[in-house]
Amino acid sequence: MSPTIWFLTSNAGKLAEAGNHLSALGYEVKQLVVQEGVLYEPQAETLEEVAKSKISQARQHLPSNFSPSDMILVEDAGLFIDALDGFPGVYSSYVYSTIGNAGIIRLLNHLTTEDPVSSASLRSARFMAVAALWRDGEVMLGEGICPGHIATKSMDGQGFGFDPIFIPCDLDDNLNPLSPGNYGSHSTHGKTFGAVDSAVKQKFSHRSRALQNLFNQLPSA
Ligand code: IMP
């Protein structure tokens, strides 16, 4: 039987991305649902602190069918924009629910040129994710970064959150990201995460990288 991981999230997009990634590694991912309003989002300085707080909170709300060999997963992510000194970073949820993608684009309106390479550098940003796994009473952490830049207009389609405005950097043959504006063998061809298939996003994403980093530390399932 596959080991079970309870993923604390109310975000269907995150659940699908983690489910795809971890089922390929031999784990069964179940959603850990906690009644709305019961958990709080700590206003911490780092994603690690937020993730650890969520693990502690999740442990107070385990389902009756949680078995001692099961694991708990939480994941916290944020968008860090260089021209705004890393803002919104750990405030990403609040910023998304207040000014949203249109507000981010407005904040960067003055940072664009005719040259796509320098525009990409001026508007550089990165998604960062920290995944935390509770297993046998211990917490393990993994982190993932996806560099890219902020588009000049929203490109909707699939995806969630800031996906419609984030264009990831191309990747080289070994799936390592290149600097903004450089061409690599894996590319979304200037499309945002919102405008590409979820399988394409998975190849680039901070979430996949954080999970990879975390599960590389575990024996395979
Ligand atoms: P959290 O990890 O759910 O706290 O995410 C913080 C904010 O960043 C939320 O508004 C999310 O919608 C957004 N966010 C997190 N991960 C992603 C992603 O992969 N794509 C786009 N937005 C994201």
With 0.85 as the threshold, say if the pTM is over it: yes
Per-residue pLDDT of the chain (221 residues; tens, 9 = 90+): 789 999 999 889 889 989 988 998 899 999 999 988 888 888 899 999 999 999 999 999 999 999 999 999 999 999 999 999 999 999 999 999 999 999 999 999 999 988 888 888 999 999 999 999 999 999 999 999 999 999 999 987 778 999 999 999 999 999 999 988 789 999 999 999 999 998 899 999 999 999 999 999 987 66
Among residues 70, 76, 82, 163, the one annotated as catalytic is: 76
Atom of ligand 1 nearest to the CA of 207: 19
d(CA 98, CA 87): 14
Q: In order of start, what are the domains of the chain with their CATH numbers?
A: 4-215 (3.90.950.10)
Contact 194 CB / ligand 1 (< 6 Å): no
Respond yes or no: is residue 76 known to be catalytic: yes
Q: How many whole angstroms from 60 Cα to the centroid of ligand 1?
A: 24
- C-alpha dist (Å) from residue 190 to 30, 144, 163: 34, 21, 13
Contact 17 CB / ligand 1 (< 6 Å): no
